[in-house]
């Protein structure tokens, strides 16, 4: 995907840098009927702030992600307004249904994406148990096979690496360089998630964040003493704390280690 620099016609487009979506499929009437999802928004109608820094989300359909077993053929790749990664529209030949999942880099329309528990041949985009994948492989969309949901490595361009495999646990290095031990019966895709240039996007104006449901965040030192412990431009004479007085630095944690 190419990066597009907009002309400085207005202040909002002066520094705006977006990703070109020319290679993605257009949402025709047929594709709109096939796509499964439900409307999502958050907020309250009474005007009370229940969650800080959130509100005013533009209504969108949250696409339902599923990974049915069998052989799937990739039909097209389309844009998802609720994620920074792209989505694939696949057709499952065993169940004769359409399904949606996160797009994997270097997979194209017409590619075969196999989801099997007993897999011997591995290609980019294939999905199987962690115990079946070889050590050193780059994987993404790690999830629980029973819940049919992915939990790790789902954002745009992210991927992890398998370090060690045993019968019960698999040691995986995440994109944050953190090493976790997961159940070997979890499933994962081979390859990285699509749209790796998403981190290069420059929004250009605050309105685009407001459409995503992000409200302004005000520093505590800029408030009055009645509004925050740091208020009054004196930092309160204490170390950094939350608006409710809980420490926010020095490794302070509310949850005890088990």
Q: What does the pLDDT read at residue 174? A: 92
Q: What is d(CA 143, CA 149) in angstroms, rounded to the nearest whole number?
A: 5
Q: What does the pLDDT read at residue 235? A: 62
Quick one: CA torsion of 18, 20, 73, 27, rounded to 10 degrees? 90
SS3 105: coil
Q: Classify burial at 221, counting beta carbons within 10 Å of its beta carbon; exposed 0-12, middle 13-18, buried 19 or more.
A: middle
Q: Flag whether 129 is in a domain.
A: yes
Is there a contact between 27 and 21 (Cβ–Cβ < 8 Å)? no
| Residues pairing with 4 in the sheet | 18
Query: CATH number of the domain that 151 lies in?
Result: 2.30.30.30
Q: What is d(CA 110, CA 72) in angstroms, rounded to the nearest whole number?
A: 10
Examine the domain organization and report whether 148 and 247 are in the same domain: no
Q: Flag whether 31 is in a domain.
A: yes
Examine the domain organization and report whether 135 and 185 are in the same domain: yes
Examine the domain organization and report whether 165 and 86 are in the same domain: yes
Q: Flag whether 156 is in a domain.
A: yes
Rama region for 56: left / alpha / beta (φ>0; ψ in -120 to 50; rest)? left
Examine the domain organization and report whether 129 and 227 are in the same domain: no
Q: What is d(CA 130, CA 101) in angstroms, rounded to the nearest whole number?
A: 18
Q: What is d(CA 96, CA 194) in angstroms, rounded to the nearest whole number?
A: 26
Examine the domain organization and report whether 155 and 227 are in the same domain: no
Q: What is d(CA 124, CA 154) in angstroms, rounded to the nearest whole number?
A: 16
Beta strands in the chain (DSSP E): 3-5, 17-19, 37-40, 60-63, 70-78, 87-92, 97-102, 112-115, 127-129, 138-144, 149-152, 160-165, 169-173, 179-183, 187-190
Examine the domain organization and report whether 125 and 225 are in the same domain: no
Contacts of residue 28, defined as CB under 8 A and 6 or more positions apart, other chains included, come to none
Both tokens of 11, joined, read 């202040």
Examine the domain organization and report whether 195 and 237 are in the same domain: no
Examine the domain organization and report whether 121 and 166 are in the same domain: yes
Is there a contact between 129 and 69 (Cβ–Cβ < 8 Å)? no
Examine the domain organization and report whether 236 and 195 are in the same domain: no
Examine the domain organization and report whether 183 and 133 are in the same domain: yes
Q: Flag whether 17 is in a domain.
A: no
| Structural domain count of the chain | 2
Q: Flag whether 205 is in a domain.
A: no
Q: Flag whether 18 is in a domain.
A: no
DSSP of 106-122: T--TT-EEEE-SS----
Examine the domain organization and report whether 189 and 246 are in the same domain: no
Examine the domain organization and report whether 124 and 194 are in the same domain: yes
Q: What is the pLDDT of residues 202-236, one digit of tens each?
A: 999 999 999 988 999 999 889 998 999 888 876 66
Is there a contact between 116 and 128 (Cβ–Cβ < 8 Å)? yes
Q: Flag whether 107 is in a domain.
A: yes
Domain containing 236: what range?
Answer: 221-258
Among 220, 152, 203, smallest CA distance to 181 is for: 152
Q: Note down pLDDT in tens along the chain; length 258 residues.
A: 789 998 999 999 999 999 998 889 888 777 878 887 877 665 556 777 888 898 888 888 888 888 888 899 999 999 998 889 999 999 998 889 999 999 999 999 999 999 988 888 889 999 999 999 999 999 999 988 666 677 889 999 999 999 999 989 999 999 999 999 999 999 999 999 999 999 999 999 999 999 988 999 999 889 998 999 888 876 667 788 899 988 888 788 877 776
Q: Flag whether 212 is in a domain.
A: no
């Amino acid at each position: 995907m190419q990066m597009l620099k907009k002309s400085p016609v207005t202040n909002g487009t002066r520094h705006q840098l977006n990703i070109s979506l020319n290679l993605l499929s257009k949402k025709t009437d047929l594709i709109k009927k096939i796509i499964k999802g439900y409307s999502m928004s958050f907020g309250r109608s009474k005007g009370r702030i229940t969650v800080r820094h959130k509100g005013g989300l533009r209504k969108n359909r949250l696409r339902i992600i599923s990974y049915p077993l069998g052989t799937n053929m990739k039909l097209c790749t389309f844009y998802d307004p609720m994620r920074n990664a792209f989505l694939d529209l696949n057709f499952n030949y065993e169940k004769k249904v359409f399904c949606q999942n996160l797009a994997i880099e270097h997979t194209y329309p017409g590619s075969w994406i196999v989801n099997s528990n007993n897999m011997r041949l591995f290609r980019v985009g294939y999905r199987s148990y962690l115990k079946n994948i070889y050590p050193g492989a780059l994987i993404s969309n790690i999830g629980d096979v029973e819940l049919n949901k992915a939990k790790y490595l789902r954002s745009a361009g992210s991927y992890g690496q398998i370090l060690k495999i045993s019968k019960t646990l698999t040691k995986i290095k995440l994109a944050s360089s953190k090493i976790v031990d997961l159940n070997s019966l979890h499933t994962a895709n081979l390859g990285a998630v699509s749209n790796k240039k998403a981190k290069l996007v420059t929004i250009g104006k605050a309105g685009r964040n407001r459409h995503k449901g992000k409200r302004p965040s005000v520093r505590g030192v800029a408030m009055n003493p009645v509004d925050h412990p740091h208020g009054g431009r004196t930092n309160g004479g204490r170390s950094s704390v939350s608006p409710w007085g809980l420490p926010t630095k020095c490794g302070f944690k509310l949850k005890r280690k088990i």
